[in-house]
Amino acid sequence: MNNIAQFNSTDYNNAIVEFSPVCVTVHGETATEKRLSVISQASSQALDFMVNATGKVGQMARANKSKEGLEGIARQAQNGNFKPLADAIAALTGASISIRNKAAFMALPDRFEDAKLDLKNGGYTFKDGVEKPSAKLRIIEQCLALINAVQSVSSI
């Protein structure tokens, strides 16, 4: 077969983009609403920068960053890489964790439900006659929420 034309794409692959047009649409009545509208559509790098902001803008940036992190953890778990999930659980609990295979990954909820059952007073403290969840219970519930979210996404 004869080649009619031969294209060399190395010039395009090595080209430096000097200008890329960008349009960020802002909407809202107040200054805070306008800032929040930007955060809701911001790039990952902008969110990285904004997580240290104070007030509602910083809260939303942290929430969006957390959502991106959860999606990334779920994507990795779906591909069989459980290290990001193990890192997140270890960071929450302050304890070492090992997830060796898919079976161990699927057994994580049972592992944390058992830990929940082992808590003193069911994981609640009583102060001034008011029952409040202990710090350990809140951490276990946060881990369970993370695991359930990751498993529901990765099972699809």
Least confident residue range of 6-10, 82-86, 93-97, 140-144: 6-10
Give the pLDDT confidence score for residue 106 in this predicted structure.
93
Residue 65's nearest CA partner among 95, 99, 39, 88 is: 39
Give the pLDDT confidence score for residue 23 in this predicted structure.
67
Write the CA distances from 141 to 14, 115, 117, integer angstroms: 49, 10, 12
Q: Which of 79, 99, 119 is the last residue of a domain?
A: 79
- The answer to whether residue 13 is domain-embedded is no
- The answer to whether residue 97 is domain-embedded is yes
CB 34 within 8 A of CB 10: no
Show the tokens assigned to 142: 């946060």
* DSSP secondary structure code for residue 38 in this structure: H
Domain co-membership, 69 together with 104: no
Domain co-membership, 51 together with 105: no
Residue 10 — very low, low, confident or very high, per pLDDT cuts 50/70/90? low
Q: Classify 26 as helix, strand or coil.
A: coil
Q: How far apart are CA 77 and CA 61, in angstroms?
A: 24
> Per-residue pLDDT tens for 60-108?
888 888 888 888 889 888 888 899 999 999 988 888 888 988 899 999 9
* DSSP secondary structure code for residue 41 in this structure: T
Give the pLDDT confidence score for residue 14 in this predicted structure.
56
Bridge partners, residue 126, by sequence: 131
CB 123 within 8 A of CB 137: yes
> Per-residue pLDDT tens for 15-58?
555 555 566 778 889 888 888 888 877 777 677 777 888 888 88
Task: Give me the number of domains the chain comprises.
Answer: 2
Query: Among the residues of 18-107, which ranges form H helices?
Result: 31-39, 44-50, 55-78, 83-93, 102-106
Q: Which of 15, 48, 79 is the last residue of a domain?
A: 79
pLDDT cut 70: percent of the chain above it: 83
* Residue ranges making up the domain that contains 106: 80-156
131 phi and psi angles, rounded to 5 deg: -90, 125
Q: How far apart are CA 116 and CA 96, in angstroms?
A: 17
Domain co-membership, 50 together with 94: no
